[in-house]
Structure 1
């Protein structure tokens, strides 16, 4: 109930008709958001606490539809890339709209999530690994060609618990959920790769999103379909944090609706039902996932030995302190007793000395003869 009220305050009514005296809704028609029915989950879940990483992207972090949702880190490159593409993808994932006087702006699939934006230059693989190390639950890859090999980085990311999503058509990578775009008629957009390279489809044509300035634009392409899928993955991860990346990936694909050429089409409510079934018998703290993270090298073996040694040394020190404290005389009882014994001994010695003097000076014998 609290989340529902917060969603209403933040996002405004999304389906109810506008009354004559109500604030008008100036948001554009976002057919892609409606097609995947993401808003059906918003009453209970806006993605709070979830981080979606965008390695290789540059953004205008002051855009009113994105401000406060973006965490920009320029460790791997300056924020001077294609901001038009970066803003478009970021807003499709997690735009929150803007304005309280009028319900303006665009909305993303998961408007309560944090976007970790990592401009990279030529260090995309390092940024992917960094995103996973920072705890990103979903990583959205940019469009790349066959020459860019991220297999090692994406494998490490999955091992750390991140679901990696990317546009179909790049180098084959089994660690990445590949997504192609469809138009409003449900057909693949022009230039889409062969079906064998596509694992999931999502709306990817004429999508209204944020531009590089303070307004809106329309975009088409697989990177933007992947952005919607990444947002959907973030919603599922917020709802079911105990699920592993491969389980969320399966829920998105197996919980999809029939799409073009027999391919699955993203549908958030049915994916949510699939994820709920998978999570039913899994505790929120997943021991298998903890073991998996340990095996991925998150904590080296030598660190465990150091930690255990430190605990043993600390325990030994505490034992020594306890023994010393228990054998000491914190309240001075023994000291008082010793002082009392010394006083008694002194008194006895004094009495014995006094008795001796009385014996020497006792009755005198009378002299003989007069």
Structure 2
């Protein structure tokens, strides 16, 4: 099951409140004003100097309040190499769900290691500095298409098994920069189980926005936070997949990534994989600062403080609730955590309170991929009850050009973006 950032990684759900989807073509938001008055980063001219979003998100200031300490993030990906300088001492024991040769520390692509570094890298040895550098990583290895083709015996239920294992682990956050066109019963039930266990699950929205823009899973499941990608100017490229399933946007363009699994050099990457990792790290910072909060409260604050200039009960088809800004909570104490036992994703009570969930600890015995959405198993791009605003609609005036967003001078406009993709993508025809 997979989304990959190429060298350069849909849904909706009923939210409990009627929502209008704002969007047309592609959206952009400018972070440029965030750099005004900031001193140059005090890092050497290495890969960290290319991590533009650390300054844009006020990472140095946030780290005075929270570094992600005490939070563990499950990274479900191509494996994680624990021996890069930036990940030394950061990676805990995980699981190889592929059941192929090697284990969860054998990263066959370099992708999973990149995601782990973006989340919790220490920056040692000139490596990537994670946004939550004191968080820990639990790796879960699953297969992409190439890995499946090169290995005869791969567990067909690897993604579902990995999600369930992560749900049963000490990880509070699950990061899955992977995507597939197919919804699988076992995987969907695993996502439901993770929610019932109090986990916060982020997944990449996908990078085929200028193509078929097919719904991607697990991002499209109701229990999962779908993340789109923004650049230093806030541009959400036309390749970033869009629709009613998108929950939030996060930095993902021009982000350094490991070039391959030799771990010799970093390359420039673009896409929703990195955006997802940075969103997960944002959640880790907030949760570390508020360890008694539930997943629902952490996510509600991230939604509440996201940069936007449309009403809180409306979402953009490209930006979701807006651009993620953990600094608004950590530095300005903004955001209402709300009810600890009601998910902002589903609008339903979570099992953390002992009610409202029917998720089973036992996995389903079947998985049914389908290329077309159905009311029962595949969320549509605009659930019943959502009023979708499209280009030219009389209701879309507030989604037009030059929407000035408060804090860091974020501006949303309608443009077309582009760029290479870095998104692990795997298609399954059967399971």
Category of TM-score, reference length = shorter chain: 0.5 to 0.7
Q: Which moved more, 1:159-168 or 1:50-59?
A: 50-59
Task: Tell me how far 1:96 sits from its aligned partner.
Answer: 0.6
Deviation string, structure 1 residues 330-366 (Cα, Å, up to 9, x no partner): xxxxxxxxxxxxxxxxxxxxxxxxxxxxxxxxxxxxx
Match of 2:79, SS? Answer: coil
Task: Report if the CA contact (8 A) 2:205-2:242 is conserved.
Answer: no
Higher-RCO chain (CA-CA 8 Å, sequence separation at least 6): 2
Task: Report if the CA contact (8 A) 1:240-1:276 is conserved.
Answer: no
Out of 181, 206, 218, the residue aligned to residue 254 of structure 2 is 206
Asked if 1:239 corresponds to 2:302, the answer is no
Check 1:112–1:214 CA distance in 2 against 1; reply closer, same or farther (3 A cut): farther
Match of 1:217, SS? Answer: strand
Task: Tell me how far 1:76 sits from its aligned partner.
Answer: 1.8
The correspondence of residues 198-347 of structure 1 with structure 2, limited to 5 A, is: 198-211=246-259, 212=261, 213-258=263-308, 263=320, 264-272=322-330, 277-278=336-337, 289=352, 291=354
State the alpha-carbon separation in 2 of the partners of residues 221 and 24 from structure 1. 25
Partner of 1:143: 178
For these two proteins, the number of residue pairs brought into alignment is 273
Deviation string, structure 1 residues 284-317 (Cα, Å, up to 9, x no partner): xxx983646998678xxxxxxxxxxxxxxxxxxx
Which has the larger share of helix?
Answer: 1
Deviation string, structure 1 residues 162-184 (Cα, Å, up to 9, x no partner): 10001114132110111000122
Out of 137, 162, 166, the residue aligned to residue 203 of structure 2 is 166
Task: Report if the CA contact (8 A) 2:293-2:340 is conserved.
Answer: no
Out of 135, 139, 155, the residue aligned to residue 113 of structure 1 is 135
Partner of 1:35: 56
Report the aligned-residue RMSD: 3.2
Task: Report if the CA contact (8 A) 2:197-2:351 is conserved.
Answer: no
Deviation string, structure 1 residues 255-282 (Cα, Å, up to 9, x no partner): 1112886640011111445676437999
Asked if 1:197 corresponds to 2:250, the answer is no
Check 1:124–1:17 CA distance in 2 against 1; reply closer, same or farther (3 A cut): closer
Asked if 1:69 corresponds to 2:90, the answer is yes
Out of 28, 49, 70, the residue aligned to residue 49 of structure 1 is 70
Asked if 1:89 corresponds to 2:110, the answer is no
Partner of 1:302: none
Match of 1:116, SS? Answer: strand
State the alpha-carbon separation in 2 of the partners of residues 276 and 135 from structure 1. 26
Match of 2:87, SS? Answer: coil
Task: Report if the CA contact (8 A) 1:63-1:214 is conserved.
Answer: no
* Structure showing greater Rg: 1
State the alpha-carbon separation in 2 of the partners of residues 160 and 181 from structure 1. 28
Check 1:130–1:250 CA distance in 2 against 1; reply closer, same or farther (3 A cut): same
Task: Report if the CA contact (8 A) 2:81-2:107 is conserved.
Answer: no
- TM-score, length of structure 2 as denominator length: 0.57
Check 1:262–1:117 CA distance in 2 against 1; reply closer, same or farther (3 A cut): closer
State the alpha-carbon separation in 2 of the partners of residues 38 and 54 from structure 1. 22
Check 1:54–1:262 CA distance in 2 against 1; reply closer, same or farther (3 A cut): closer
Show structure 1 runs of 5+ residues with no match: 1-13, 299-370
Task: Tell me how far 1:254 sits from its aligned partner.
Answer: 1.6
- TM-score, length of structure 1 as denominator length: 0.65
State the alpha-carbon separation in 2 of the partners of residues 294 and 281 from structure 1. 15
Check 1:160–1:25 CA distance in 2 against 1; reply closer, same or farther (3 A cut): same
